[in-house]
Structure 1
């Protein structure tokens, strides 16, 4: 996603009314949850994004910049050590348990995603990337798991650079919450080809996200 410059026939993201923002949030949640939950809201979101590809920024950026969420994020002390690999073991165990090639743990502030755990170096190998490239932002903003069997046909991911490049073909992410229920990041796994995520894999991913949260916030395991 780019800046808030309006595309032909659309509003600037910052010029959306409160009602339009509510519709966007409802559509985002419906699209993240998947087919059959609220197809009308998801369809409306797709229409809005067709008119204005940057429309989601009106709800994504304010959510990422929320003061309480950022306070919880900074309380981890991990934003200052992006290269520590503090949760590499959690990512490794996640990939092994899911039998998938890649897994990672990330924290997301208002401008960047920090990979604080990964089972393998992938792509450019960097542990910090711009928030606009973070697929995990959909998990953090919605506060619910984001499960995608085929990223190439998903309305939120089909045009994402990581999908277009072939690095991501399927994706499954679960939010990580602070003690005050602020979504600060996510645990996610992905494959380079479409993959049908099983119910068992999703349950394991949720359990491992709880483990990651316990380590990040020093909760009893």
Structure 2
């Protein structure tokens, strides 16, 4: 048997081939993805701002691309939903303290390292506010294929992932495969007609047990964000 990796003996190479086969990949793809995941994990632990740029470059190159995710394009591109999003005027708008206070409160209340108010457009995810995420250099968006929030938006209900690596669907998501997102909790931001424009979410790069209390607290904060965006329902009724 030809040695596939330096330092691996025949039994280790057989094990490598078996792991790649179980993942549905060839050995080269499996090794490249493993190395890329470790690089991202090391940079994120060090809070190195290069992590986000590296994830974007890996996304463009297709390192974490997977066809295993459901297609939610029809919901994301629904004209009424997009009109509701565009009517807010929040896309590409500057940071605002009110939203920053909400994301900080979400991260603190759920003891999560990362939190965001995300807005889901047809081809991108724009961050109106973040906590714990380095978005220096003015880059406040990611390609839509890196968005977990789009699935909370598409379902119109909370998305709860305690360890996405073990979820039969989300284990295929590029940011889960990269190790950037392991646990995720997202609440859709709904207008008064039931259209979800984005989420208030928290996430972690390690597993988390999200309780009903966590969902309730994040839901209350999401309601505050939605009220700020759309106004109170009672106010409109009057």
Taking structure 1 as the reference length, the TM-score comes to 0.69
| Selected match of 1:67 from 53, 61, 79 | 79
Query: What residue number does 1:84 align with?
Result: 95
Q: CA deviation at 1:143?
A: 0.6
Query: What residue number does 2:159 align with?
Result: 146
Q: CA deviation at 1:130?
A: 1.3
SS in structure 1 at match of 2:175: helix
CA distance in 2, matches of 1:198, 1:111: 32
Query: What residue number does 1:203 align with?
Result: 216
Distance 1:123 1:195, change over 3 A: farther
Unaligned runs of 5+ in 2: 1-65
Distance 1:96 1:160, change over 3 A: same
CA distance in 2, matches of 1:153, 1:107: 26
Query: What residue number does 1:96 align with?
Result: 108
CA distance in 2, matches of 1:181, 1:165: 33
Query: What residue number does 2:11 align with?
Result: none
**Structure holding more helix per residue:** 2
CA distance in 2, matches of 1:166, 1:85: 30
Unaligned runs of 5+ in 1: 1-51
CA contact (8 A) 1:176 1:183 kept: yes
Deviations along 1:13-70, one digit per CA (max 9) or x if unpaired, are xxxxxxxxxxxxxxxxxxxxxxxxxxxxxxxxxxxxxxx936732xx11111111111
Query: Which has the greater radius of gyration?
Result: 2
Number of corresponding residues: 167
Q: CA deviation at 1:218?
A: 3.2
Q: CA deviation at 1:171?
A: 0.6
SS in structure 1 at match of 2:105: helix
Q: CA deviation at 1:169?
A: 1.4
The alignment status of 1:129 with 2:142, answered yes or no, reads yes
Taking structure 2 as the reference length, the TM-score comes to 0.64
Query: What residue number does 2:184 align with?
Result: 171
